[in-house]
Amino acid sequence: MANQTSHHFSSVMELIDGNRIAADIVAELKTEIATLPARKPCLALVRVGDDPASVSYVRKKEQTAAEIGVTSRVILPPVSISQAELFALIDQLNADPEVDGILVQSPLPKGIDEVAVFRRVSPDKDVDGFNTLNLGKVAQEDETGFVSCTPAGIMELLARSGVDLKGKHVVVVGRSLIVGKPVALLALQKKAGANGTVTVCHSATANLPALTRQADVLIAAIGRAGFVTGEMVKPGAVVIDVGINRVPDASKKSGYRLVGDVKFDEVAPHCAKITPVPGGVGPMTVAMLMKNTVKAFRLRGT
Amino acid sequence: MANQTSHHFSSVMELIDGNRIAADIVAELKTEIATLPARKPCLALVRVGDDPASVSYVRKKEQTAAEIGVTSRVILPPVSISQAELFALIDQLNADPEVDGILVQSPLPKGIDEVAVFRRVSPDKDVDGFNTLNLGKVAQEDETGFVSCTPAGIMELLARSGVDLKGKHVVVVGRSLIVGKPVALLALQKKAGANGTVTVCHSATANLPALTRQADVLIAAIGRAGFVTGEMVKPGAVVIDVGINRVPDASKKSGYRLVGDVKFDEVAPHCAKITPVPGGVGPMTVAMLMKNTVKAFRLRGT
């Protein structure tokens, strides 16, 4: 790996442009929604309290919904809401025939059981894909379920970049319920584009570099800035960086910049394809949320 | 691997005796049930038609239940039962306060959707662990769920043989919903004894032997007699053979004998531990079914 510390980019290296791919999906959905004769899909966005990241995420979701013609309904309960009150609110949305999708923005205040809240959302409106039943459907390869937006976005990025996982060794670093486990189950599925051989590594893995170096497709979802170094990646690999980490940067007005789990400058030069951070997996999340909302609308048949 | 074709068994090789471990579990459950003051756990066994293997499996489950003091109720609908009628039967059992666990013996007649039938069983009585919600709970590491009996039995065999998966590379061959996927999720869990690094291989895997040779713990669940040969296994590995395959054998009265997915004579000599077939994973299935039935009884709090 002579070029590991060089910043010379291989002529065959291709940047996977998440912004462009997400924009394509959003445009496709806009066209699809424009053909609907009457009622448009409606997404309920529940944001508890005023966590700054949540404010920004929910605003972005609202904007994208407006852009494509999905009606959104933003509900802003106070941070003091009890779990029982939040359940009652979700039950109302579950029962509301005008609502197709429900997203409860994470994180929730301490004292509220997130998994229980996600399980309260009716599975057929669970456009975030966090309901236990929808997780089970991912394992069952049941297409009537909803796949959570980040792993679904990763699969879409790969498909739209011409990466077929069949016969490939996919190594996932990180075993979270939000990314690592569902993307491993998706990569294993028997459907076209999937059929990968899948390894899941994590904090308890012995000799991690020996495993990551075997990856034809490496998915980094650890949540640690620059964790994946050049020597951990096989030349010619496809690298998907799921991390979004803030590192201090005095040159920025905000005082920080966003970096991924992958040391981009070291890894990119000898990759076949790689996602940047920002602009890789991140933009896909909102696009897939919109795709799930339209799917929920269609499946409900209203 | 000088001893790969030799039949000399290493002095350190240990046979994992599934019959003995299953008998231990059954004895523990019998002691536990004996202490119950009043009503005993009740398991409903639904067997549709007269498939000979199903007849034998259900009889074994009934016998073990009787042995430990679990009440069983065997229901034998005709092979002509419709899916709607089977649903109605399951609904009755779901609603029956005397019934703690429900098992619908697979395979079901053609024309009946097995996954839909398993999903019809109330999750809190789903002692077979095939309900979609319970699959999702395996991914969520939610201990209120039920793990299906074969993968649960594999984890129990490992635990009771002193095999801690932490820091180990677990390679699963086979990605079925019944064994491969759930055992992969279990081996990945953060709880004591698990924390394995997990690779799932299958029919579309390229260079399978290079992956199986990396396994500290190899779980073979392919359903092909003698698929795993000596050269596919690292010396010192722990091998769990989930396969139960019939091969013709004129020396047997039945005309066949049962063999696993592993070429035992080739692999055993250089293993640390290995399960035989029969007498390895097989006997664990019924023991874990009983364990799930007692758990369902306890969780229902009746």
Encode pLDDT of A73-86 as tens digits. 999 999 999 999 99
CB contact under 8 A, A198 and B199: yes
Q: Which of B100, B124, B126, B128 is catalytic?
A: B128
φ and ψ at residue A266, rounded to 5 degrees: -80, -40
Dist. CA B27–CA B33, nearest whole Å: 10
CB contact under 8 A, B177 and A132: no
CB contact under 8 A, B195 and A204: yes
Q: Has residue B48 got a pLDDT over 80?
A: yes
> Which CATH architecture group holds B149-282?
3-Layer(aba) Sandwich (3.40)
CB contact under 8 A, B140 and A177: yes
- Out of A137, A139, A211, the one facing B197 most closely (by C-beta) is A211
Q: What is the ipTM of this complex?
A: 0.94
pLDDT number for residue B12: 75
CB contact under 8 A, A211 and B200: no
A169 contacts on B by Cβ (under 8 Å): 206, 211
Dist. CA A229–CA B189, nearest whole Å: 26
- On whether any CB of chain A is under 8 Å from the CB of B191, the answer is no
Dist. CA B233–CA B268, nearest whole Å: 10
Q: Phi-psi bin for A169: left (phi > 0), alpha (psi -120 to 50), beta?
A: beta
Class of domain A148-282: alpha beta
- pTM, two decimal places: 0.94
User: From the CA of A90, how many Å to the nearest CA of chain B?
Assistant: 19
Residue B92 falls in the annotated catalytic set: no
How far out from the chain centre does Cα B169 lie? 21
CATH 3.40.50.10860 at B39-123, yes or no: yes
In a mutational test of the A interface, the residue from B188, B203, B216, B234 whose CB has the highest number of chain A CBs within 10 Å is B188
CB contact under 8 A, A139 and B168: no
Dist. CA A239–CA A171, nearest whole Å: 10
In the stretch 103-142 of chain B, residues with CB closer than 8 A to chain A read 115, 131-137, 139-140, 142
Find all residues with CB under 8 Å of A185, minimum gap 6, and list them: A138, A139, B139, B181
In this predicted model, what pLDDT tens digit does every residue of A41-69 receive, in sequence order? 999 999 999 999 899 999 999 999 999 99
CB contact under 8 A, A135 and B134: no
Dist. CA B107–CA B79, nearest whole Å: 11
pLDDT number for residue B7: 46
- On whether any CB of chain B is under 8 Å from the CB of A265, the answer is no
- On whether any CB of chain A is under 8 Å from the CB of B183, the answer is no
Q: Has residue A233 got a pLDDT over 50?
A: yes
Mean pLDDT of B42-59: 95
pLDDT number for residue A7: 46
Dist. CA B258–CA B275, nearest whole Å: 14
Dist. CA A274–CA A267, nearest whole Å: 9
Find all residues with CB under 8 Å of B79, minimum gap 6, and list them: B48, B49, B50, B109
Domain spans of chain B, in order of start? 39-123, 149-282
Q: Has residue B205 got a pLDDT over 50?
A: yes
pLDDT number for residue B33: 97
CB contact under 8 A, A205 and B188: no
pLDDT number for residue A96: 98
pLDDT number for residue B38: 87
pLDDT number for residue B156: 98
Dist. CA B217–CA B183, nearest whole Å: 12
Dist. CA A155–CA A186, nearest whole Å: 8
- On whether any CB of chain B is under 8 Å from the CB of A192, the answer is no
User: From the CA of B205, how many Å to the nearest CA of chain A?
Assistant: 5
- Out of B136, B188, B200, the one facing A136 most closely (by C-beta) is B136
User: From the CA of B236, how many Å to the nearest CA of chain A?
Assistant: 17
Q: Phi-psi bin for B183: left (phi > 0), alpha (psi -120 to 50), beta?
A: alpha
Q: What proportion of chain B, given as a percentage, has pLDDT over 70?
A: 96
Which residue has 């009503």 as its token pair?
B39
Dist. CA B43–CA B30, nearest whole Å: 15
CATH 2.60.120.680 at A38-123, yes or no: no
Cβ contact A150:A179 at 8 Å: yes
Counted across chains A and B, CB pairs separated by less than 8 A come out at: 100
Q: How many CA atoms lie within 13 A of B88 on its CB side?
A: 6
